[in-house]
Amino acid sequence: MLLWDNEAMNPQGKQGSEVLSDPLLLPVIQHLADNAEAIGERLLEAYTDEIVDYRSLPEGYLSRDVADMARRNLLTLLSWLSGEVDEARSLEEFRNSAVRRFRQGVSVQALLHAYRVWGQVVWNEIARLPVCQTSPATGFTVAGEVMRYVNRVSLAVANSYLEEAEDVIQDRQLAERDALEELLSSSLISERVASYLTRLGTHLRQEHRVLLLRRRHSTASEPHDTRDGLAAVRRFLARDPRYRPLIGLREDEIVVVLPMPEERKLSIREVADDLARSLDAFVVGVSRAHEGEAQVATAYREAADASRVAYARGDRRAYFYTDVLLQSVIDRSGLGDVVHAETVAPLIAYDRKHGSKLSDTLRAYILHRLNLTRTAEELSVQPNTVRYRLDRIRELSGRDPNHPDDLILLALGVRIDPGSSHEGPGGS
């Protein structure tokens, strides 16, 4: 939505107040015109002193662009005070400068700060003139006009800056979507996508992973919720400038193709877990490490498998494909219900009939890596009770928790949700 309003404009586009009705304004205008160069230097010094974004600009931008626009702004004010400004033409120059500031990496807050500084410096220059000190009415008139002028120009540059930012964001989202679809649907990518990835600094020939985020409660989600999540992922990964990810939306998923700098490879689990905790409305699945553009589709499928398990488990951490490899194999084989029926189902049926806790005991025993003492502590029983229950588990299921092959099947059975294909949102 544009910030523009048409207050104080006449049909010819000229500034409408009759400031020249006060003859004492003529020396003010003359002083500003005679000292435009020196005032411009003071403006540039004030910008770099007070505004980090301007101080960070290369010297060439400051001397040739920023300083020139500060002087041009002053000359436009003189035309404004004289009632002779061609506002449409003058504001177009400021709109173009706002677009340049966006492309130079200056934030909109810094841009508007610069215009406030401009108004302060120019007013301080005017206020010290004898004519304003001896005639307060003249000073008030000039102050009002300067404030009105700064407000007018600020509205114009803010509109142009935000319009440019919106266009760039839309272009980036389209480019990201096209790049993701191409990477996920084919082994070869076009020159156009390759060029975009190069500009982004995303190098997929090195080791990379795919992170896939899906909403925990898809029925309650709205499109803007996922877009908000996308923005949050961008902010999260932007904390570490070493990452150059490709991030985009794919239907209701947030897909991150994350090249792994050598020094960050060992910390990926910590990063993924932090991301899962920061965006607790989403589950996070992470692929294995791959190299090359052709492997992005494989990495995506792995991350999708991991996210489906994360959806089923419900806890607030990232799930890696290597964490769920065995369950993924069972899911894809279509034997999940068979494994469950041959392992855990008899225990659940027995627990329901007799009020026992054999299935809970098996889960705790596996969770605590076959440690009897810790299992007993969690269940508030004696270790001998755990041993007895493990014997009953062997009798009822036909699988011995102390035998490696049987233990693998029992562990898989514990993790399988019977009667489902173990898919989270977006599963197939």
Given a contact cutoff of 8 angstroms between Cβ atoms, the answer to whether 365 and 390 are in contact is yes
Find the angle CA(373)-CA(375)-CA(376) to the nearest 5 degrees: 65
Type and span of the H or E element at 228: helix 223-238
Q: How far apart are the first and last CA of the chain?
A: 40
Q: What is the pTM of this model?
A: 0.56
Which DSSP letter does residue 251 get?
A: T
Spell out the residues 6+ positions from residue 95 whose beta carbon is closer than 8 angstroms to its own: 156, 157, 159, 160
Which DSSP letter does residue 22 get?
A: S
d(CA 301, CA 285): 10
Residue ranges and CATH numbers for the domains of the chain are 19-162 (1.10.490.70), 191-323 (3.30.70.270), 331-415 (1.10.10.2840)
Given a contact cutoff of 8 angstroms between Cβ atoms, the answer to whether 345 and 418 are in contact is yes
Spell out the per-residue pLDDT of the chain, length 428, in tens.
333 333 333 333 444 444 545 566 778 888 888 888 888 888 889 999 999 988 888 888 888 888 888 888 888 888 877 777 666 677 788 888 888 888 788 888 888 899 899 888 888 888 888 888 888 887 788 788 888 888 888 888 888 888 877 766 666 677 777 888 888 886 677 787 777 788 777 878 888 999 999 998 765 555 567 888 888 888 888 887 777 888 888 888 999 999 887 777 778 899 999 999 999 889 999 999 999 888 999 999 999 999 988 888 888 899 999 988 877 877 777 788 888 899 999 999 999 999 999 999 999 999 898 999 999 999 999 999 999 999 999 999 999 999 999 998 898 888 775 544 444 444 44
- Going by C-alpha positions, the residue among 12, 23, 63 that lies closest to residue 41 is 63
